[in-house]
A and B are shown apart, each in its own frame.
Chain A
Amino acid sequence: MKISGKYTGTLALCKFALRRDRVWLALWTIGIVSLVVACGPLFPEIAKTPAELASFSETMKNPAMIAMTGPVYAEPYTYGILYAQMMTAWILIVLGVMNFFLVSRHLRKDEEEGLIEVMRSLPIGRSSIVLGTAIETLLANLAIALLSTVGLVLTGVESIDLAGSLVLGGIIFCGGLIFTAIAMLFSQIFMTSRGATGFSFAVLGVLYALGAMGNIEGGAMANISLFSFVFKTSPFSGNYIWPFFILLGEAVVIGFIAVLLNARRDLGAGFIPQRNGRAHAKASLSSPLGFALRQTRTSNIAWILIMLVVGIMYGSIFGDFENFVESSDFFKAMIMADVDAGANAMLSFMTYITLIMSVIAAIPVINVVYRIRGEEKRNRIEQIYSKAVAKRSFLLSYVGIALVLSVLLQAAEGLGLWMSTKVVMSEPFALSEVLAAGFIKLPAIWLIAGLGVLLLGLLPRLTSLVWLYLGTSFFLLYLGRVMDIPKAFMDGTAFGALPDCPIENFAPLPVALVTVMAAALLAAGTIFYSKREISYR
């Protein structure tokens, strides 16, 4: 050992971490870079001519769009500006997720599993692990930024030039570093990786919300969150680099605080210790159903709120419907068939959007059912079944919650959409129309839940097949019309088989058919599940 300082062994640790994470990092890098690059050529598709592009800029000045993604920060409007405005926020969010997981994995998870104890007993400096992780994430973010820049330039889209792509790469790099620093800080403050990632995500949410406000308000407000501040660089237009110095400065300061805190705290401790909870269970926690409700409560509420917000956001589009839909071939193609058949364009679009939201609503519903599989995989289920609990009643508790949740989710997205259309439209939809569009798709969600239960009972190792089915349905329903896929394929999915109320009339036969199939799948799955063994790892 040449240097016996606080940072001894940092580079060796960093190399080790890079080796350990190579597959994980490669997948994330490929994922993010392909998101960045693949979306580039989409924009000339959305607005084909300069005139369309100009009119699209009006659409993009809609407050809902500005809040969700970003402002029209420069004019004349170009594909580059459109790209940066639409994509930056999403890229930053994905980047945040990656950095949070990566950092808390090294700084908190390893410690929980006692790995850091082993490492610290080696000749390694006190701060080396933190610094090594910081260098690893720095390299990862740099790689993603560079590859994205190169990829964007190679798309050859008009006005997506080298200078602007470099600035966008700079945003990726600086944003990634700020997220790393945030996660590093919370890894020191909280005792568990759950606490650290949880709080990091909360901060991401707050930054996003502040960014939405900053994007709308402008001025000083826009300087607070990086989600609005990054537009000061004006990619593909002004290409200013001074904001990068500020962003880098912030990352360094936060990271430095994290390193200081790390050196001062004990192994296994945090600055905010885990909160203590109750010594006795509430009366509600005394049955399988009570337990299932408690375990799914947080995510159920979160998903209901998410669907409400998604509904509100989609609803706000209707304020500028003409521009939004008519200026885009993509959206036009989606509803053309219905409009040609004599349906009202707005109503068609609402029906179509609700269909897509219904497919999304199936995700949390399946997740509730699959909690049971999670309990089994983590070897916790024998804790339950060694008590006087029948497999059937445990399973049906989760299934019951899933079914009720499906109704609440459809109601939430419908209400959200209806509320915002009521504000932005001169002749808003009737609440019954909006709710009908969502509720008519419920049997399809139940069918997918039934498929999940069947897999759980019959092929527990292949439960992820249901995601394949849902993914295919989503693809067919979302892009099928644009890509001219024969209608029969779409109708073959449970969602497509059901009538598209309110633009189509209620048809009892398909509704009854899908509902009966859902019930049959649920029943069969429940029987198989009650008869099968617990699988142990």
Chain B
Amino acid sequence: MSDTIIKATGLVKNFGKTKALDGVDLAVNAGEVFGFIGPNGAGKSTTIRILLGAIRANAGNAAIFGKDVWNDAVEIHKRIAYVPGDVNLWDNLTGGEIIDLFIRLRRGGDKKYKEELIEKFDFDPTKKAGTYSKGNRQKVALVSAFASDADLYILDEPTSGLDPLMELVFQECVHKVKREGKAVLLSSHILSEVEKLCDRLTIIRNGKIIDTGTLKELRHLSRNNVTVETKNAIEGIEKLEGVFDVANSGDEVSFKVDAEATGSVMKRLADADISHITVSPPTLEELFISHYGVKQ
């Protein structure tokens, strides 16, 4: 975690009366895959468009490679690859032509690896872009992004049109660039994808960052799921501090427990003579829901 690739502080963006971003901070380092998650309209794409120098923040600073995202956009883009969620292309050009064009406009890429990617993504580059499906249009952007020699990959919901098989290919690509020490900013609401790929993540909602950290750290803040079977009946567990959602089904009891309270609850369970227990960290879904549920 040495070089800071993206550094944004206090980004504010207003569209007329809507406040799309309200003080967004972001820091992405070299060699890490950084997840950017939030519900629809949270401000993910807006943040990314500011980072790309396509729109201008009303307040705050954003720098990539230490350069200003608005003033030095062209310099920065030589080392960036971007994949939008909604890829609009030119009907009269073929997918192969557009891939080549994109790589050339970015100044440089790997020809052999490009062919390999086209193969892997099972993509027909000879068709006119007007006939491509959503997933195939996304492949055009993905192939040209991963085949180019970038130091930062900005991916805005890049897999929303891919089938599960192609998603695996995508994950492989992300792993590869990560191994090469590149940085990746991956916006998504597919939580399983973020879980699999990201080292750190940030959660955004209503234009505000509500949490940042490793998956582990974020999980710490929320509740573990416990399912337990004991020889002796446990009583009054629902009265313990930090225990929620207790449900009995036969011999089994399941509940959620705050991270801090886990130890004391375990002691109590041990007294009742555990015969079987599973403790699982919250899924990202639950993280999401607890964050939004609490604050809605």
What residues of chain A have their CB less than 8 Å away from a CB belonging to chain B?
Answer: 191-192, 194, 274-281, 285-288, 291, 294-295, 378-380, 382-390, 533-534, 536
Contact = CB atoms under 8 A, between A and B. Distances in A.
Contacts of A534: 49, 54-55
B interface bracket (residues with beta carbon within 8 Å of A): 35 or more
A382 B54 contact: yes
Contact of A281 (B86, B91, B97): B97
A274 B127 contact: yes
B54 A278 contact: no
A192 B128 CA distance: 11
A386 B106 CA distance: 8
Nearest to A380: B88
Contacts of A285: 97, 100-101, 104
A388 B78 contact: yes
Interface in B67-117: 73-75, 77-78, 80, 82, 84, 86-94, 96-102, 104-107
B10 interface: no
Contacts of B181: none
B39 interface: no
Contacts of B54: 382, 385-386, 533-534, 536
B53 interface: yes
B130 interface: yes
B56 interface: yes
A270 to B, nearest CB: 11
B55 A533 contact: yes
Given A382-B84, A534-B54, A536-B49, A387 B77 contact: yes
A255 B280 CA distance: 67
Contacts of A533: 54-56
A390 B74 contact: yes
Nearest to B53: A385
28 contacts: A191-B131, A192-B131, A194-B130, A274-B127, A274-B130, A276-B127, A278-B94, A281-B96, A281-B99, A281-B104, A285-B101, A287-B104, A288-B105, A291-B105, A295-B92, A382-B49, A382-B84, A385-B53, A385-B54, A386-B54, A386-B77, A387-B106, A388-B75, A389-B77, A533-B55, A534-B49, A534-B54, A536-B49
A294 B126 CA distance: 17
Given A379-B88, A387-B105, 20 more contacts: A192-B130, A274-B128, A275-B128, A276-B127, A277-B93, A277-B94, A281-B104, A295-B92, A382-B54, A385-B54, A385-B73, A386-B52, A387-B106, A388-B74, A388-B75, A388-B77, A389-B105, A390-B73, A533-B54, A533-B55
B161 interface: no
A230 to B, nearest CB: 35
A389 B105 CA distance: 7
Interface in B119-145: 125-128, 130-131, 141
B116 to A, nearest CB: 14
Interface of B: 49, 52-56, 73-75, 77-78, 80, 82, 84, 86-94, 96-102, 104-107, 125-128, 130-131, 141
Contacts of B126: 276-279
Nearest to B77: A388
Contacts of B105: 286-288, 291, 384, 387-389
Contacts of A277: 93-94, 96-97, 126-128
Nearest to A387: B105
A284 B107 CA distance: 15
A350 B77 CA distance: 53
A12 to B, nearest CB: 30
Contacts of A280: 96-97, 100, 125
Contacts of A384: 105
B80 A386 contact: yes
B21 to A, nearest CB: 14
A286 B52 CA distance: 21
Given A194-B130, A382-B52, A276 B94 contact: yes
A274, A382, A536 — which one has the most chain B CB atoms within 10 A of its CB?
Answer: A382
List the 10 closest pairs (A to B, CB-CB), nearest first. A281-B100, A387-B105, A277-B94, A286-B104, A279-B96, A276-B126, A386-B82, A281-B97, A388-B78, A533-B55
A251 B74 CA distance: 57
A181 B32 CA distance: 60
A389 to B, nearest CB: 5
B86 A379 contact: yes
A291 B98 CA distance: 10
A209 B46 CA distance: 53
Nearest to B141: A383
B97 A385 contact: no
Contacts of B94: 276-279
A287 B97 CA distance: 13
Contacts of B75: 388
Contacts of B77: 385-389
B107 A388 contact: yes
A92 to B, nearest CB: 29
A261 B55 CA distance: 49
B147 to A, nearest CB: 13
Contacts of B106: 387-388
Contacts of B127: 274, 276-277
Contact of B101 (A192, A286, A382): A286
Contacts of B90: 295, 380
Nearest to A268: B131
A278 B131 contact: no
B87 A278 contact: no
A385 B49 CA distance: 11
Contacts of B141: 383
Nearest to A281: B100
B269 to A, nearest CB: 54
Nearest to B54: A534
A132 B234 CA distance: 72
A383 B96 CA distance: 15
A529 B94 CA distance: 29
A291 B101 contact: yes
A378 B97 CA distance: 19
Contact of A194 (B56, B91, B100): B91
A268 to B, nearest CB: 10
Counting chain B CB atoms within 10 Å of each CB, which of A191, A383, A534 scores highest? Answer: A383
Contacts of B86: 379
Interface centre among A288, A291, A378 (most CB of B within 10 A): A291
A280 B100 CA distance: 6
B52 to A, nearest CB: 5
Contacts of B89: 380, 383
A378 B89 CA distance: 9
A246 to B, nearest CB: 38
B83 to A, nearest CB: 9
B240 to A, nearest CB: 51
Residue among A287, A384, A387 with the most chain B CB within 10 A? Answer: A387
A275 B100 CA distance: 20
A383 B88 contact: yes
A277 to B, nearest CB: 4
A328 B130 CA distance: 51
A407 to B, nearest CB: 26
Nearest to A291: B101
Contacts of B128: 274-277
A276 B93 CA distance: 10
Contacts of B87: 383
Nearest to B130: A192
A385 B101 CA distance: 13
B125 A279 contact: yes
